[in-house]
Chain A
Amino acid sequence: QSALTQPASVSGSPGQSITISCTGTSSDVGGYNYVSWYQQHPDKAPKLIIYEVSNRPSGVSNRFSGSKSGNTASLTISGLQAEDEADYYCSSYTSTSTVIFGGGTKLTVL
């Protein structure tokens, strides 16, 4: 099964908002509400920032929000800050009882 489709890179200036898309199929993103988003800084373990499409774990800034429409999930980061510069990955449960990740998006804060 191919990875979920994410843009390779996005960028924005401090204070701006950006959105990262994550496109799958009806067998994964579109079929279930088990979409998660992870933030990964260089040489660090991933950090969960959104689970079940739009929920934030305790301690995660409310500048991070998630949504889904059809087979595409989206992560929006508002009020961009320098520390948001990182790689972002989406993931989804699939109809074959596995997990699939997106290819990752590198966010650059200009």
Chain B
Amino acid sequence: QVQLVESGGGVDQPGRSLRLSCAASGFTFSSYAMHWVRQAPGKGLEWVALISYNGDNKHYADSVKGRFTISRDNSKTTLYLQMNSLRAEDTAVYYCARVLRYFDFWSGLDNWGQGALVTVSS
């Protein structure tokens, strides 16, 4: 079955960097676009970024553009989110999620990880 397992969360200070990983298994990782979505404590969902199945296309929310970088290693079936210049408002649970249709980008997110908590505080 499809499994997505995030790691790399933790506590960091404003201005520092953190990298999240999302290990995928149970499906052909290289055929699916992947997203990161975050949720601040007690708040709603916020889309963060998308990467196409082959890594050629990447899109970001305005709130993270220029600070966060999404990437993937299809040989390791792993998705990444490099987060630089962290701010207090980046504090959230970060979910990786798979797109429903292979080779599509936007059809809906049908499998989600358990989430990784990132806390940015001095």
Q: Please list the residues of chain A having a beta carbon within 8 angstroms of any beta carbon in chain B.
A: 1, 3, 32, 34, 36, 38, 40, 45-48, 50-52, 57, 87, 89, 91, 93, 97-104
**Quick one: which of B18-57 are within 8 Å of A by CB?**
35, 37, 44-47, 50
CB–CB A98/B95 < 8 A: no
Number of interface residues of B (CB under 8 A): 22
**B68 an interface residue at 8 Å Cβ cutoff?**
no
CB–CB B62/A1 < 8 A: yes
Contact of A57 with B59 at beta-carbon distance under 8 Å, contacts A89-B45, A99-B47 already known: no
**Complex: how many Å from CA A101 to CA B40?**
14
CB–CB A91/B45 < 8 A: yes
**Complex: how many Å from CA A32 to CA B22?**
29
Contacts of B95 in A (CB 8 A): 45-46
Where chain B touches its partner, the secondary structure class is strand
Contacts of A45 in B (CB 8 A): 95, 112-115
Contacts of A89 in B (CB 8 A): 44-45
Where chain A touches its partner, the secondary structure class is strand
The 3 closest A-B pairs by CB, nearest first: A51-B108, A99-B47, A45-B112
**Complex: how many Å from CA A49 to CA B29?**
22
CB–CB A34/B45 < 8 A: no
**Complex: how many Å from CA A34 to CA B113?**
22
Contact of A104 with B62 at beta-carbon distance under 8 Å, contacts A45-B114, A51-B100 already known: no
Closest chain A residue to B35 by CB distance? A99
CB–CB A93/B106 < 8 A: yes
Contacts of B47 in A (CB 8 A): 91, 98-101
| 23 A-B residue pairs with CB within 8 Å | A32-B106, A34-B106, A34-B107, A38-B109, A45-B114, A46-B45, A46-B95, A46-B109, A46-B112, A48-B108, A51-B107, A52-B108, A57-B100, A57-B108, A89-B44, A89-B45, A91-B45, A93-B106, A98-B60, A99-B50, A99-B106, A100-B47, A101-B44
